Each structure stands twice: as C-alpha cells, then as structure tokens.
C-alpha cells in the first residue's frame, strides 16, 4: 500500500537532516571503504549544502505503479498464508502482569522492553509470539533492509537519507511491525551483520550484509532463554537497544545503522539470572508463576486442546476480541503524546526510586513512560496515582538487586515504599 509524503513539510524535514556547521552531529558517522556501493562518505552526520539561495532538498515519495502494488500485495498475502498460526493473545488465561508489560511496550517502544522470568511451561514464549497478531502497521521505505521511517531521520538508514538529500523518489509502503526471533546458537556475525561473502567472491567488492539487528529495527527482538545467551551477545543487544544504533567494525568495513527495537527476553530463573547491570537495561520486569487454581488450569488445558484440534476455528472464535485489542493499541499509540503527568506525581516517583536506592535514573524514566502508556491504554489523558501503582513494581523491582547471588524481589518492597510516599 503506497502513500505520498507531502512536500509542504520539506523545509522542516530537511532542517532535521542538514546540520549547521556550528551544531553537533545529529547522527553517528559512516565510513565506508572505497569502491563500496554506499555512495558518498559521511563525516559526523549529514552536512551537505546546496547553492546559495536555492534549496536542493526535496522529499518526493510517489505512488507505485499498479503492477508493483499487485506484486507486493500478492507477496504480502503469500507470506501471511505461509506463517505459522499463533495462539491468540486474547485467549491467554491469567498472566495479566506479563500481558500488560507487553502491551505497554507496544504502545511506547521507548519504555525499553521487558524481561519475563518464570517457571517452565507457564506460556512465556506462547504469549510473546501471540503478540504478532496485535502489532500495528507502520510506514517503511520499500526494499530497505533497515525498515527506514520516511519521516524520522533517527530511524533511517544512511542510503535513504542520501537519497532524500538528492531528491530521489522513494516508495513508501505500509507493513506490520516485525518480530524477530534470536536463537541461542546465533553468531555475532549473524546478529550484527558482516561482509556479503557472495558479492566479495563474485564481484570482488566489500559490501555490508545486514544482520538480525537491522531486520529488527522499528520492530521487536525476542530472545527466549535470554539468561543462557552468551554474555558478549547480550552486551551487543543491550547496547544497541539503549543507543538505537548498531556499529559494525570488521574486515575493512565501518558502518552504523539504526537498530531501534523493543527487546523482549524470557527465561527460567532456575537456569541462572542475568547480571544486575544487564537487568537494568530492560525497561520492565514481569514475573510469571504457575496457575494454582484448579478451575483455571482445566480451562487452560481445554483451550489448548481446542487450538491443537482446529487452529483456524479456534482463532476465528477470538477474532472479535483480537480486533478490539488491536483498536485499543492503535488508539493508545495515537493519543500517547497528549497524555500528561503532574509534576507532583513525578516528584513522588523519583522519591520512591531514591529511597529504594535505585542506581541511575532509568527507573524514574521508565516508570513515567509506563504510567503514561497505561493511561493511554485506558483512554485517559492524565496519569493517576493508581496507574503508577500498577506499573511501578515492574519498573523497579529488578533494579533493587545489588548482589548477583540475590534473587529478584517480588515487588513487595516497591509497593510498601510506594504507599509510604504516596499516602
């Protein structure tokens, strides 16, 4: 589905891309080797100026031809049919804490992801993968390996920025937010990207082949059993998640590309905990326990049996509830920027963090963001104290652990301190 980006916003858009000589670079620099097919070399971001008195910057995004539309729609339909049917998110019984954390991160990706820890067989992976059906559509530049946003320079690959500065036409399509699974056996080359071996052998040129971080840009990166992932890979993931960029320096290639994704990890605490400084990089923490109520357990077993027997019929029975959730998420994402939080509540949030001796300011920032996302999900334009009470245990409890040998607090300490400060 193609769309047109109007030229009325050209001046303001170009001003984001072109920095004045005195200003600091807005983007990481890109240094490519001679002969590589990446066009001009960038030094400290974009700083290209046209002739005096004339603006050479034009964003021209046109409708694609009917043939292209039909081909893309056919490919989209074919890929949708080939996907494995996932368990509906609305059919997940219980586990409200985990579901809420996931929904809040979809509404505001800047929350910073979620770490889900719990017993084996409690539906962690099933719940995360069921999120795929609820993800909204976003605008991307067609054919771009980084899912570049045509209106946001911070989520745009270097080649797309260069094309915009040259005034080239870009095809914009609507596509669903991408979810990328990172297997435990993945290599660093596959995650970060490396040299395109095929082009190196056939054409004799060094060209960058994007990895999973590029594919996950503006989407979701899911790591099952994240506590078993190699430490150096976890460091790479968390560094990219925090900065929004992935920098690759290897075999004569030096390149940076956007890598803004929602990082979701799951694991069983019996198999080991993450280091405290790594846990701190996850915006929220959800604890999942085995359901104790016998009636609920029977319902879960029966629902799973129905799904295994006839997946299409089971998914159809939850279609209305799924659609309602989709519209709630879309509405919350659009209204999020207008949600307000009183300064008095911000001060109290920071006081809770301070008295709990939470290191750094990530706890304060994430709590504010999560409370606003929850208010948006409820359809409100102002954050209330009960919204903060709902999200603050998930935002702070994994930041209280100072000793790697300690277990993560259940959230009781955070709740006690919350009521002490907010009373």
Active site residues: 362
Task: Return the number of other C-beta atoms located less than 10 Å from residue 282's C-beta.
Answer: 26
Closest CA to 127 of 93, 155, 78: 93
Q: What is the C-alpha separation between 347 and 349, in angstroms, rounded?
A: 5
Write the burial class of residue 12 (CB in 10 Å: 0-12 exposed, 13-18 middle, 19+ buried): exposed
Helix, coil or strand: residue 323: helix
Q: What is the C-alpha separation between 92 and 102, in angstroms, rounded?
A: 13
Phi and psi at residue 368, to the nearest 5°: -60, -45
Q: Which residues are registered as beta bridge partners of 175? A: 138
Helix, coil or strand: residue 118: strand
Q: Which positions ≥6 away from 14 have C-beta within 8 Å?
A: 55, 57, 59, 165
Cβ(234)–Cβ(82) below 8 Å: no
Q: What is the C-alpha separation between 384 and 369, in angstroms, rounded?
A: 13
């Amino acid at each position: 589905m193609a769309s047109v980006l109007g030229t009325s916003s050209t001046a303001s858009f170009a001003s984001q891309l072109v920095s004045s000589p005195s200003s600091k670079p807005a983007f990481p620099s890109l240094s490519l080797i001679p002969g590589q097919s990446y066009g001009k070399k960038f030094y400290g971001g974009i700083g290209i100026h046209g002739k005096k008195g004339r603006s050479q910057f034009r964003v021209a995004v046109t409708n694609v031809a009917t043939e292209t539309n039909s081909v893309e729609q056919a490919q989209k339909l074919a890929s949708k049919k080939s996907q494995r049917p996932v368990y509906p998110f609305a059919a997940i019984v219980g586990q409200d804490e985990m579901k809420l954390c996931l929904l809040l991160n979809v509404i505001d990706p800047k929350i910073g992801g979620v770490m889900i820890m719990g017993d084996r067989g409690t539906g962690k992976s099933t719940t995360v993968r069921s999120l795929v059906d609820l993800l909204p559509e976003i605008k991307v530049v067609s054919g771009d390996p980084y899912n570049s946003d045509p209106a946001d320079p911070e989520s745009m690959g270097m080649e797309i920025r260069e094309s915009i500065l040259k005034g080239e036409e870009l095809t914009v399509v609507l596509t669903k937010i991408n979810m990328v699974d990172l297997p435990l056996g993945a290599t660093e080359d596959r995650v970060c990207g490396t040299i395109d071996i095929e082009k190196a052998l056939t054409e004799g040129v060094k060209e960058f082949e994007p990895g999973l971080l590029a594919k996950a840009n503006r989407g979701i990166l899911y790591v099952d059993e994240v506590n078993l992932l190699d430490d150096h890979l976890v460091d790479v993931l968390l560094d990219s998640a925090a900065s929004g960029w992935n920098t690759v320096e290897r075999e004569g290639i030096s390149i940076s590309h956007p890598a803004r994704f929602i990082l979701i990890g799951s694991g069983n605490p019996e198999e080991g905990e993450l280091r405290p400084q790594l846990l701190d990089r996850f915006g929220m923490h959800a604890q999942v326990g085995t359901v104790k109520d016998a009636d609920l357990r029977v319902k879960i077993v029966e629902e799973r049996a129905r799904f295994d027997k006839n997946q299409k019929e089971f998914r159809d029975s939850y279609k209305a509830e799924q659609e309602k959730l989709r519209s709630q998420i879309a509405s919350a994402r659009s209204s999020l920027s207008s949600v307000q939080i009183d300064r008095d509540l911000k001060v109290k949030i920071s006081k809770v963090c301070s008295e709990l001796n939470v290191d750094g300011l990530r706890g304060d920032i994430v709590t504010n963001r999560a409370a606003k996302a929850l208010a948006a999900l409820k359809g409100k334009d102002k954050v209330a104290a009960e919204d903060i009470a709902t999200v603050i245990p998930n935002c702070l409890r994994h930041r209280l652990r100072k000793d790697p040998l300690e277990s993560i607090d259940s959230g009781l300490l955070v709740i006690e301190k919350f009521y002490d400060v907010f009373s």
